[in-house]
Amino acid sequence: MKYACSILLAMLLALGLAGAQDKDKDKDKGKHEGMKVGAAAGNDAIKTAVMGMEKELREAALKGDATVLEKDLASDYHAFSAANLQMSDRATAVDMLKSGKIKYSSIDVSGDTVEVYSPTLAIAHGEANVKLTVNGKSADGKYHYARVWTKRAGKWQVVWFQSTKVQ
């Protein structure tokens, strides 16, 4: 009998604890939902800002204007471009555009989006039909690209870029 009472007592305690945990989960759920709403608004602002900078980079590339690269590429920027199958750093990327070694005549982007991973980290990616020359040779094609943006000292900068030719 004592054994049965002990089991019954243990079961009642377990049920009581489970109920208390469910109530705590409900409280936390409400807190997290409020945080999601605030985070969603912050994410929308980040997405809008990054999409604007992406557009600015495309427009500058078409004009051969390296000043936007100088502003937006971080000092520790690295890239791999399928257009020339080369790695580059900030100085190389800026020089390629300034010198005319890389020239864009069109960049038609589709399916572009920004994924926000934190208030200081976002990745822009999509596909682009690009008409360009690298060192005087055509590198036209359809590319998938991804650009990693990080916010440092209140300023968004690109730290990594990679493209892959898909067609």
pLDDT in tens, 111-120: 999 999 999 9
CATH fold for domain 2-165? Nuclear Transport Factor 2; Chain: A, (3.10.450)
pTM over 0.85: no
Domain boundaries, the chain: 2-165
DSSP-assigned beta bridge partners for residue 86: 81
What separation in angstroms does the CA of 82 have from each of 67, 70, 143, 146?
Answer: 23, 21, 8, 12
Q: Phi first, then psi: what are they for 153, rounded to 5°?
A: 50, 40
Tell me the residue type at 153.
Answer: A
Exposure of 79 by Cβ count < 10 A (0-12 exposed, 13-18 middle, 19+ buried)? Answer: buried
pLDDT in tens, 51-84: 999 999 999 999 999 999 999 999 999 999 999 8
What three-state secondary structure class fits 133? strand
What three-state secondary structure class fits 135? coil
Q: Where are the beta strands (DSSP E) in the chain?
A: 73-81, 86-89, 102-118, 121-134, 137-138, 141-152, 155-165
